[in-house]
Structures are given as C-alpha cells and as structure tokens.
Amino acid sequence: MAIAWTGLAAHVTAPPAVPSVFGGSANVIAVLVLLLEFGMFRQALLRDQIRLYAAQSAAVSVLAVIVAAAKNVPELYVLAALSAALKVVIVPLVMRRVLRGADEEIAGSGTLGVATTVLLAIAVGAFGFFTVGTLGIADVAPGTAQVARPHHAGSFDGTGAAPPETALGLAMAVVLVAFVLMIVRRDVVSQAIGFFTLENGVSLAALVIAAHMPLILEVAFLFDLLVAVVVFGVLIRVHHGRGQSLSTAELTRLRG
C-alpha cells in the first residue's frame, strides 16, 4: 500500500500546469458566456432570449471588473459600468419595447432540432477554438502557463501570466456559435440577438487580449452596438409592419 501511495503522490504533487486563480476565473466566465450562447438555442420564448442576452452581457461586465482588478487597469471599471448599463439594462429594455407592438412571443422554430443544432454548434465552436490554438497568437504556450514572462511581470501585477489562449479561443467560439444562431433561427429577433451576442464575443476577446486598449475605443464599440440596436429595432418594426410576422421564412424574393 505504501508503494501504491507514493506512486500516486508522484502524480498528485506534479499535476499539469494549473491556471492561476485569475486565469481560472477569467476562463470560467468565458465558458459561462459561451454556455449562455448555447442556451439561446434552447430558448423558444423571445423574452427569455433577451433575458439570456442580458445575463451574458452581465457576465462580460463581470469579466471586465475581474480584468480591471487583476491587471490594475482602472479604466476598465468605467467600461464595466458602461457596458452593464448599456447591455444589461438599455438594450434589453429597447428590445422589449420593440417587441411590445408585435403580438408574437415564440421564436420561429429553427431549421434544425435543438439537439442537432447544439451538436452542429459544438463542431463549429470547436473549429474556432482549435483554430485559435494553432494560430499561436497567445504569448504563453500551454504548459508554461505558470512561468511568468519578464515583460509581463509588471502588467499582470504579480498574479502570474494568465494564458489568454483559452479565453480567446472561447471568444472565437462565441462569435462562430452566434453565427450559427443567426443562420439557424428564422425570426428577426433571434437574428438580432445573435448579432448582439456576437458583439459580446468580440468584447470578450478584446478584454482578454487587449485589456490596455484605450477606453475611448471600447466606448466607441459600445456606441456601435447602440447604433446596431436602433437599426435592428427599426428593421424589426418595419418587417413586422409589412409581413405581420417576425419570421424571415417568407423573405424569398429579392427586390431592387
């Protein structure tokens, strides 16, 4: 038994590289964002879909706070507050207001079943995930995560170099899965929400790899989103006004 125990202890004392607590929690939130993206496939009610979007945006805002604390970038607190106000409160409010006119509550069913869509999205997301892995963008290779690089020692504020590769891969997966959502769903609202979540994926990637990006750029992105919301709002209104439905299935003719 003693031999067995020491044999096991050898495994236990030298486990493969463990991400730091910051890296781990950042990755957990990235995974959460991706899971919420997958949750949208399951959601049939438009209201619940908007709620999921709000939850996803909240997760991204929390990640901004974590990055701000870990990397010591105070501007990110401002960004977190702004993105929470805009994406968790204002955008869902606007979307709900837009939907109030339409009497439809149930999203047009997708072209595929839920389980099939999820499996398809897993494959597409995996493609994005592993593509990022092979690109070698990340500055820290897997397995050397614990080794703090000298030029990063300052910026990471003693928390150790967190490998952004996983979170970046997850952000890529979020973007691609959002595309799947937009392609598979046949109603304007789901497609709009898919577009908004795509923006969440992009801001996730921005937070992970470019935390020191100037605040003005990030805020500009947020206002871009606001423009998109207004455009989609108008689009949804007009579409519903013309066709008395939110479904895009009838949009088969191209008009000049």
Shortest Å, Cβ 236 to other proteins: 27
Closest to other proteins by CB, 17 vs 213, is 17
Cα 186 to its chain centre, rounded Å, is 21
Kindly state whether residue 115 participates in binding other proteins, applying the rule CB under 8 A.
yes
- φ, ψ for residue 43 (rounded to 5)? -80, 125
Shortest Å, Cβ 249 to other proteins: 23
106: β partners:
45
Stretch that binds other proteins, among 58-66, 148-156, 164-172, 181-189 (CB under 8 A): 164-172
The rounded distance, in Å, linking the Cα atoms of 54 and 171 is 17
Token look-up 């997301």 returns 125
Q: Return the structure tokens found at 201.
A: 């994926």
Of positions 92, 108, 163, 194, contacts other proteins by CB under 8 A: 163
Chain positions 19 to 48 lying near other proteins, rule: CB under 8 A, are 19-21, 23-25, 27-28, 30-31, 34-35, 38, 42
Helix (H) or strand (E) holding 105, with range, is none
Of positions 81, 119, 234, 249, contacts other proteins by CB under 8 A: 119
Q: Return the structure tokens found at 121.
A: 């999205």
Shortest Å, Cβ 66 to other proteins: 11
Closest to other proteins by CB, 92 vs 201, is 201
Q: Could you tell me the end-to-end alpha-carbon distance of the chain, in angstroms, rounded to an integer?
A: 81
